[in-house]
Structure formats: structure tokens, C-alpha cells
Chains A and B, each alone.
Chain A
Amino acid sequence: MELLDFARGPGMQWSIGIFVAGVLWRVLGILLLHHRRDLSEPRVGGAAPLLGGAQKVVRRLWPRKEFKERNLLPTALAYIVHIGLAIVVFGGSFHLLFIKNLFGISWPALPSAFVYFTGAATVAAGIALLARRIIDPVTRLLSNFDDYFSWFVTLAPVVTGLMAVAHFGARYETVLALHILSFELLLVWFPFGKLMHAFLWVPSKARTGYVFTRKGATS
């Protein structure tokens, strides 16, 4: 069995299996935890805490004005990475073939040139974010293996994907295999590292917003 056959067959099967099992483990493990009931009288009652939770999710999409000067650039770069990934994954014609094969659904692809440009912009923004993380003493101190490895497994499929469409670096079958394997590495790492924020950031922000609003605190 060659590398590409492994990547398209058993590699895909195991990585998606680990991804599904890992995500359910993490999500259910958190949701089913014992949450102590708040017996205090709510400062704000009714639907307000729920609204507060939703507001916090939305407000945290952009830095507060106190931190805007410091965080505007990294926030913008992070948006480029996230939106770029979404465009590449859900707009690229080759990826839509993969999605259709897996889930049986499809939609019109975006123009290839636009997807390739977006992929390149995503990589550039990702590299800028890494540089900032390393250069800034605060983020460097806060960073650990999880941050760097999550960065690597996120950008590796984009880089290898661009290499594959450009037929660059090695024989096409090797680069395509590396592209698929790098995506599989992303799937395997996803539930166990900080990439899990894709599933957890909304419930965690909403819960914090709910609790704070209930206590009458701004969030």
C-alpha cells in the first residue's frame, strides 16, 4: 500500500474516528459535569442572563476599546486565518468533492484562483501571528507546546494543499498524500488541544456571560 492509498483509506478512517470520539468525549465530559446550583438571589432576573450570555459571545468577537490598540492587529490576523480556512475548506472545488463523498451534500465551488489566493493569505496571516507570539514577551511566556503544535497542524494542510495544486515540491501523489495526512493529523490533534475552542468557545463565553449578568456584573 502506498502512502496516498493509506492516507485516503485507513488514515482517513482512523483520524475521523478519533476526531468524532475525541470531540464527544470532551463535550460530554464537560456538559455532564456536576454544576453547583447558584442559590443566591439573581440581581437581574428573567431572560436577561440568557441575553447577557448571547451578548458576551458577540462582544468578544472584537477587542474591547481598552485593548484595541494592543489587540487590533492580532485579532484582524486571526480573522483572516479563520475566514480564510472556512473559504478554503468549504469553497475549494477539490474539498467539495471530499465533502460530497463523505456527507453526500455539495454546493457550488468558489473560483479556484480566489481560493488559492485566500489560502496564501491564510498562510501569511498565520505566519504573522506566530511571529507576534514569539516576539511579544507576554504571549511568548504564555505559550506552550499546545499553542505551537496547534498552529502547525492548522497551517500544514493549507501549505501542503497549495503545494499540491501548484504541483510543487515533490511528485503529485506524494504531496497530495502529505496534504491528506496533515489534515488527518489536524483531526487527531483537534479534540485534545486548543483547537477544541471551535466547539467550546461559544458555550464557555455564553456561560460566563450568563453567570456574570445574573450577578449583576458587566462582562
Chain B
Amino acid sequence: MPSELTLGESLAARGVSRRAFLKFCASIASAMALPPSVAPAMAEAMAKAKRPSVIYLSFQECTGCLESLTRAHQASLETLIFDLVSLEYQHTIMAPSGEAAERSLHQAIEENRGKYVLIVDGAIPLGDPGYGTVAGQSFADIMTETAKGAAAILAVGTCASFGGLPKADPNPTGAVPVSHIVKDKPIVNIPGCPPIAVVMTSVVAHFLTFGKLPDLDHLNRPKAFFGDTIHDRCYRRPFYDQGKFAKTFDDAGARQGWCLYELGCKGPVTYNACATVKWNGGVSFPIESGHGCIGCSEPDFWDRGSFYQPLPMSLWTNRGKTLAAAAAAGAAIGAGAAIASRMRQRKLVEEK
């Protein structure tokens, strides 16, 4: 479908009714905590907007982010995601392969230079160019080259946003997030393992409606979705406030839905919208299924101790060695100080 068509024209051509489009806009406005009155204005602005060209690059990733996106529970959204944008390149789901695919990438870059939205999924290895290549070009070079002509970059998933699992200690490939390589373009991080699809849709919708990216927090995440912790919005929060905690995953407290803080839940330090948007068709989210939040939308979540280690617990591992060394040092200094004192006393006595 040619990118010259406005979004409204392309939706009409695909048989999407105005009612369905308004419903989509209302759901996006609601998800971004915008007032309901914004929905018609959003629909009007988006209908007139040209569908932005989107290049979707995948690097060190597991395709979970794309799975989350394409299998989003809002079926109409899934369709609209691909009607909303003109997806020029995504090597997992595009029809061309090999040289034809690479040609379409370069063509998309040239034809839409300065205007396309670049979506990146996965971390980028800097340890050795050979750790990740496409058509003989390293991931880092592809990233740099493609970012040059982008209007904005969406780093989708924790790997692209913060390095994620590939960057976990000892980071054998020297994996880095997008923001480590690209310094001169606006970057929106949409972390999560996987991320919530509606967040990405909303960012694109916001970009089309207002011509700018939404407000971001200090980690470049959209505040509308990452402004509160999981804990703030958790339905088990009252049990935390009452001091009622499940001690094991199958005890009486767990069965009564008590707080999972003592079982390692990272909800209090994790900013994401899981507790409000939820997963699986709005059925539940991890805590509702009886498992604590693992903090997957936070930087370095993989290296912050066990998922089952409560937040008050120390991350200090080599305790025996440290304590033995400290005790030996303290005892030696104490004994040394006492001996020095005895010698000084003896000297004073001898001088008398």
C-alpha cells in the first residue's frame, strides 16, 4: 500500500469503519490517561496524517517482543498497528528474503530519509562484529546507518532499551542498548520482557496525533505507562499495607491472595503498566497468576539477585571470605594496638 495515502484513506481502503477507528483512538487515549475528549481530535488528526514509514530491526533478541506485538489481545489493534504504519522492513514477518530484503531496507532508508520511525528490538553486541551480522554487515553498523535517517527511534523490549539478557553479567558479547550507540536522535524506550503491545501502539499514535513523542521519564520511558510501579497499581497492595504476606507459593496466605513481597516480588521497584493493562486478553498479569513481578522492565533486572530474593535481602554473595578477612584484620589491629600499649607502658616504667 503506497505511503502517500493518509491514514484515514488507507483505513477506508481496507474497510475499517470510522466507528472502529474511533474505538481504537478512544482505547489509545484511555491507555495514555488522556481525557476522553481527546479521542475525536486524535481520530481527526490521525486520519489526516500520512502513515509513517517504519523500519523494524531485530538484533540480539528472542522474538518475544514481536510475538507480544503481533499476538496482542486487542485484535483490532494488531490489525491497526500495521494499518497505522507502513512497515517497510521486518525480517521475521516480511515476504522478501536475502538480497531482496536488504534492497527493500536500503530503499526504505533512501526514500524516507529523515522521516521514518525506526523500531529496534534486541541488544547490539560490540564485543566482536561477528557476533551478529546481516548480509555481512554487523549489527552495530546496521544500527548506526539506519539511525542516521530516522525521525525517532523506539527501542522495544528490555534488550533494546537497557541491554536485557544479552547484557547480563558477564555480558560475553559486549551487548549494549540502542541508547549506547545512538546519541543524536530522540529515543523512546519501551522495556519489558516482553513489552506491552499497546504501549508501542500508543507511542506511534501519539507521534501521529501531536507530531511529537510523549512525555518520557528519566529512563526515556513513556510516563503514561511507566509513571507508576506495579506495586502502586497492584490489587494485592492492601495486603502489603496490612502486613499480610504469603510465605510460600502454596500456603494459606498465597491462596488468599496476600502480598508476594516476601517471595521476591519486585513490584515496588518496577515501573510498568502490567497491573492496569494486563495480559492475555486482560485476563491477568503475573502477580494475579500467583507469581511475583520479576522487574523485567527495569535496567539490569537479570543481575539483581534471584527473582525469589526479597528486596530487603542483601545481594552480597561471598560473605564467608569477607567476614573472615574483616575478623582477621580487626583482631590483628586490636592485638597490635594492645601490644603497642604494653610496650609503651613497659618503656615508661623502665624510664622511671
Query: Which residues in A have some Cβ–Cβ distance to B below 8 Å?
Result: 1-2, 4-5, 8-10, 12-13, 16-34, 93-95, 97-98, 101-102, 111-113, 167, 171-173, 176, 180
Contact = CB atoms under 8 A, between A and B. Distances in A.
B339 A32 contact: yes
Contact of B345 (A25, A34, A113, A171): A34
A28 B315 contact: no
A101 B245 contact: no
A28 B323 contact: no
Interface string B303-326: 011000111111110110011011
A21 B325 CA distance: 8
Interface stretch (B23-31, B46-54, B131-139, B329-337): B329-337
A101 B313 contact: yes
Given A16-B323, A20-B323, A32-B334, A5 B314 contact: no
Interface string B90-101: 000000000000
Contact of A20 (B311, B315, B326, B339): B326
Nearest to B261: A94
Interface in B219-262: 229, 231-232, 242-243, 245, 262
B129 interface: no
Contacts of B299: 2
Given A25-B333, A34-B342, A173-B268, A5 B315 contact: yes
Given A18-B326, A172-B231, A97 B334 contact: no
B162 to A, nearest CB: 11
A24 B327 contact: yes
A164 to B, nearest CB: 9
A20 B312 CA distance: 21
A16 B324 CA distance: 11
Interface of B: 229, 231-232, 242-243, 245, 262, 268-269, 299-300, 304-305, 309-316, 318-319, 322-323, 325-327, 329-331, 333-335, 337-339, 341-342, 345
Contact of B330 (A1, A4, A9, A23): A23
B342 A4 contact: no
Pairs of residues from A and B, 9 with the lowest C-beta to C-beta distance, nearest first: A112-B243, A28-B334, A24-B330, A32-B338, A21-B330, A17-B326, A101-B313, A9-B315, A29-B334
Residue from B304, B330, B341, B342 with most neighbouring chain A CB atoms (10 Å) = B330
A29 to B, nearest CB: 4
Given A16-B326, A19-B326, A24-B334, 6 more contacts: A21-B326, A25-B331, A28-B335, A29-B337, A102-B319, A113-B243
Q: Is chain A's binding surface mostly helix, strand, loop or mixed?
A: helix
Contacts of A167: 232, 268
Residue from B262, B269, B315, B318 with most neighbouring chain A CB atoms (10 Å) = B315
A10 to B, nearest CB: 8
Given A2-B299, A17-B325, A173-B268, A93 B245 contact: yes
Contacts of A95: 312
B303 to A, nearest CB: 8
A13 B322 contact: yes
Given A12-B315, A95-B312, A172 B339 contact: no
A33 B352 CA distance: 20
B342 to A, nearest CB: 5
A100 B303 CA distance: 21
Given A13-B322, A17-B325, A94-B312, A5 B304 contact: yes
A210 to B, nearest CB: 20
Contacts of A9: 314-316
Residue from B311, B312, B335 with most neighbouring chain A CB atoms (10 Å) = B312
Contacts of B229: 171-172
B338 A13 contact: no
A100 to B, nearest CB: 8
A21 B333 contact: yes
Contacts of B337: 25, 29
Contacts of B310: 94, 97
Contacts of A25: 330-331, 333-334, 337
Contacts of B322: 13, 16-17
A185 to B, nearest CB: 16
A98 B313 contact: yes
Contacts of B316: 8-10, 12-13, 16
